[in-house]
Amino acid sequence: MNFKKILLISIIIIFAFSTTGFGCKKRKPKPSNNTPVAANLPVNQPINNQVNLPTTTQPPKPATEEEKVIAAAENFLRGYGSYQLGNFSNIESLYPQMTERYKDEMAFWVAEQKQKYALEPKRYITFTISILESSVISLESNQAELKIKTKRTEIKGAAIPGEGTIIWVDEFGNKPEEQVPRREFFQDAKIKLIKEGGRWKVDKVKFL
């Protein structure tokens, strides 16, 4: 083979490579099926960057001394002013709310009244009381005085147990043909309290 033939074959081979392998552009690889297209956001992610803070419940404020004496006085007066004539269980149930001095005084009075009513015919008269307004007259570290406006109701009759139910009787214990009469009136009361053993207790009650 002469030199011209060898040169011709070399030119043909170089031209073939330039049009096939070396001259073509590289193609971008196809994305793999395992490549995530978008990131998975958390399910509970807040919207607009709002953060849900845990709600906290504020503990109730402790009652002031004024609130304590008013509550003690009103609670006592509701029991003290609601009773049936000749029945002193309402007062006896209030002994724990009285000072030692006042409890002894009231126990002596109740014993006297029981003897008195034991000698008289039983009468059915009922009294109820409603608290309208309370105001503190004076308040010191260990004693207080209040004035309480009330509405009282006197009922000349009573609801008593009878034959497995409750029946109304008139003042003398008979079943009334009509409603028993009642009278409403307004009355103020003064209450003195003294702190004993860290608790406010009633030391005196007086209806004005």
**What are the pLDDT digits (tens) for 88-132?**
999 999 999 999 999 999 999 999 999 999 999 999 999 999 999
> What pLDDT, on a 0 to 100 scale, did the predictor assign at position 178?
86
64-93 mean pLDDT: 96
DSSP states of 132-169 as a string?
EEEEEEEE-SSEEEEEEEEEEEEESEEEEEETTEEEEE
**pLDDT of 6:** 63
Does the structure show a pLDDT above 80 at 45?
A: no
Residue with more model confidence, 26 or 84: 84
pLDDT of residue 43: 53
164 pLDDT band, cuts 50/70/90, is confident
pLDDT at residue 22 in the model? 47
Structure token digits, residue 163: 């034959």
According to CATH, what is the number of the domain 65-207?
3.10.450.540
pLDDT at res. 63 = 84
Average pLDDT over the chain, rounded to an integer: 84
pLDDT band at 48 (very low <50, low <70, confident <90, very high): low
Contact status, residue 93 vs residue 79, Cβ threshold 8 Å: yes
Six-digit token string for 154: 């006197």
- Number of alpha carbons in the 13 Å side-chain half-sphere of residue 143: 6
Tell whether the model's pLDDT for residue 206 goes beyond 80.
yes
Tell me the C-alpha distance between 95 and 76, whole Å. 10
Confidence of residue 24 (pLDDT cuts 50, 70, 90): very low
